[in-house]
Amino acid sequence: MKRLFGTDGVRGIANREPMTCETTLKLGRAAAHLFKDRTGRHRVVIGKDTRLSGYMLESALTSGICSMGVDVLLVGPIPTPAIAFLTRSFRADAGVVISGSHNPFEDNGIKFFSRDGFKLPDLIERKIEKLIFSGEIDSIRPTADDIGKAYRVDDADGRYVEFVKSSFPKGLTLEGMKVVVDCANGATYKVTPTVLRELGADVIVLGDEPNGTNINLGCGSLYPAGLQNAVLAHKADVGFAHDGDGDRVVFCDEKGQIVDGDAILAACASELLKEGRLNEKKVVATVMSNLGFELAMKEMGIQVLRTPVGDRYVLEAMIREGCNLGGEQSGHIIFLDYNTTGDGLITALQVLALLQKKGEQCSDFMNCMTRYPQVLLNVKVRERHALEGIPSVRDKIRDIEKRLKGMGRVLVRYSGTESVVRVMMEGEQEESIRQMAEELAEEVQKSLG
């Protein structure tokens, strides 16, 4: 059983295990050793978001990697998907992002990309953990000129800006479009406004003054009220918000209504199908995507493939099934034609391009699915036990499924990043499904809370 890696890398409170300098250094050493699987000099790209603890962890990670005879390319604060691109662009052996994503500033995390720009599979993560916990890595110590060196890369932002713009249709601009963007005081605070302005948009920017402690603080994709107010106040055509590391995006239409990842995915899938560009006439989503999304896709003749929560599981299914579009309700959308991971800026550009080409308002474009009421409750737990092995929880789930009579869904799962059980319920009547969700949450609380 894995002891460090969760759904999306290693996560935790900065300066507490596992997000300490000591463990981060060991992670760097173990990962660098595994990535040295070819001849020649080796290089790893390291980027981060705007958290205060990023400086501390960046130094520890760099030290560990260099101690294994691997050079480090430091690119500073930059979105997570930029690391996937830069790793490929620099022909590096791997890429690393130091980021707590959408979590508050006191948290942080570390996630790795392979030389191909894909997140690491479970097998490689387990090998890294084995090297650390077995102590095997401790005796591997290059010396003299076999030790690595760290370099600063000054033009990383510019490289990523040009890469992202290459996904926007040639000959098309955003002239005449007023756009509000909330960068969450995170990793996109420079690149997203730059891209929008270079494409001709009239841009109003929020959340572009990071100070190390204000990332995701009442702003960004999890807190879109400021975005909604700004769209209405400025009479903007559209708005969108990133999370702290820029791999997700949610939209706000001209009426001030929030559009989540399900609606974005549905609208883009519909247009790609019309243009004959939706591979296999399939789209990949997770178990959290709304039932209304699946029904809308079915009416269009698009098959929905569901995966566990986590964009890397979405990506694995996309590759396996030959799909080029997939994503999560949270706003992680993967356009595999353009990047190898969820990219909030590329997703935003694809939507803006479609709005510009079709001449439609955002509210009309995104109105392609009828959402079933959905209730999500989080139950804090002391420890994790197999939920199907707890009779009271198992029996309550079966009872609720009978009451839903096939007109809804119930899903209970552990979070991959927090000590909570997530209870999700969907159905036709919000009041009734909320009551059922609360009943189930109470049973989980009694057993594990």
Stretch 232-244: mean pLDDT: 98
User: Confidence class of residue 246 from pLDDT cuts 50, 70 and 90?
Assistant: very high
Q: In this prediction, what percent of the chain has a pLDDT beyond 70? A: 99
101 in active site: yes
User: Confidence class of residue 383 from pLDDT cuts 50, 70 and 90?
Assistant: confident
Do the domains at 5-155 and 374-448 have one common CATH topology?
no
Between CA 123 and CA 385 the distance in angstroms is 23
- Inter-CA distances, 410 with 148, 238, 401, Å: 51, 33, 7
Q: Please name the residues in contact with 47: beta carbons below 8 A apart, sequence gap of 6 or more.
A: 75, 76, 77, 78, 79, 80, 82, 83, 86, 95, 96, 97, 98, 156, 187
Record: fold of 260-365: Alpha-D-Glucose-1,6-Bisphosphate; Chain A, domain 3 (3.40.120)
The CATH number for 374-448, chosen from 3.20.20.70, 3.30.310.50, 3.40.50.720, 3.40.50.620, is: 3.30.310.50
Stretch 304-316: mean pLDDT: 93
- Residue 1, pLDDT > 60, answer no
Which of 182-196, 324-338, 420-434 has the weakest average pLDDT? 420-434
At position 77, the amino acid (one-letter code) is P
Query: Residue 198's CB: how many other CB atoms inside 10 A?
Result: 14
Q: What is the pLDDT of residues 5-58, one digit of tens each?
A: 987 899 999 999 999 999 999 999 999 999 998 888 999 999 999 999 999 999
Domain ranges within the chain, ordered by starting residue: 5-155, 176-257, 260-365, 374-448
Give the global pTM: 0.91
Record: fold of 176-257: Alpha-D-Glucose-1,6-Bisphosphate; Chain A, domain 3 (3.40.120)
Q: Which of 53, 67, 99, 101 is catalytic?
A: 101
Query: Residue 97's CB: how many other CB atoms inside 10 A?
Result: 29
What is the structure's pLDDT at 2? 58
Record: fold of 5-155: Alpha-D-Glucose-1,6-Bisphosphate; Chain A, domain 3 (3.40.120)
